[in-house]
């Protein structure tokens, strides 16, 4: 898969490095692009938001929220343990973070590219590359979750991405784009344009 940028943007996240390297070796066919660390200037309740990865291709657009290290969910609060053993608490959680990021990106694309979205499939997923996460809940569908089992190698991650697109496609009737469709290039160019 093509990555933009081609070189990992260092943000001290070993989990994102791992996913970046997996995506480099995932082959979903022609026309697929993964954007790392995409900033969103308009968000439902944040002044500024960042999407860890956005994947664009003929099947649609998916954003991924990556959470490395240890994960704990207790009494409605999320707790993360980073590689230094430091604990962090968050009430928003990775699922809501991914969901609101998806809608912020979709709204921006729909507003700017009124003829390009063609009822595309939009979705989101959450990746826990360093831990097992198989707890089911009404708050998160298991299909959107990738844990260490699917992030061991690029084949496992490809299975996760296909399962993720299958899940979101099952939610409605969406149009797929051909690789030659100019709308696909317009979306890619809009998400991260080259400026000189």
> What tens digit of pLDDT does each residue of 64-106 get?
999 988 888 888 888 888 777 788 887 778 998 899 999 999 8
Q: Where are the domains of the chain?
A: 2-66+99-191
pTM recorded for the entire structure: 0.88
Query: Which residue ranges of the chain lie beneath pLDDT 70?
Result: 8-12, 41-48, 114-118
How far is residue 10 from each of residues 5, 36, 154, 171, 182, measured CA to CA in Å?
11, 10, 21, 35, 32
Report the C-alpha gap between 116 and 112 in whole angstroms. Answer: 9
What pLDDT was estimated at residue 115?
A: 65
What pLDDT was estimated at residue 77?
A: 86
Q: Which of 179, 160, 173 is nearest to 53 (CA)?
A: 160
6-12, long-range: CB within 8 Å, 24+ apart, which pairs?
8/36, 9/36, 9/37, 11/37
Kindly state the helix (H) or strand (E) to which residue 61 belongs, with its residue range.
strand 60-66
Q: Fill in the DSSP letter of residue 177.
A: P
């Amino acid at each position: 898969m093509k990555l933009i940028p081609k070189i990992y943007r260092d943000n001290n996240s070993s989990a994102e490095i791992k996913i970046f390297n997996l995506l480099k070796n995932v082959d979903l066919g022609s026309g697929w692009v993964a954007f790392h660390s995409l900033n969103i200037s308009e968000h439902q309740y944040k002044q500024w938001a960042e999407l860890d990865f956005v994947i664009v291709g003929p099947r649609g657009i998916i954003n991924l929220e990556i959470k490395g290290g240890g994960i704990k969910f207790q009494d409605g609060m999320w707790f993360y343990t980073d590689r230094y053993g430091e604990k962090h608490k968050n009430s928003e959680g990775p699922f809501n973070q991914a969901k609101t990021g998806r809608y912020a990106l979709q709204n921006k694309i729909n507003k700017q590219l009124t003829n390009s979205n063609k009822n595309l499939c939009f979705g989101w997923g959450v990746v826990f590359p360093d831990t097992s996460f198989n707890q089911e809940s009404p708050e998160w569908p298991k299909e959107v979750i990738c844990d260490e089992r699917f992030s061991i190698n690029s084949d496992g991650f490809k299975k996760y991405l296909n399962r993720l697109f299958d899940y979101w496609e099952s939610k409605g009737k969406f149009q797929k784009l051909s690789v030659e469709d100019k709308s696909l290039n317009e979306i890619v160019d809009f998400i991260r344009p080259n400026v000189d």
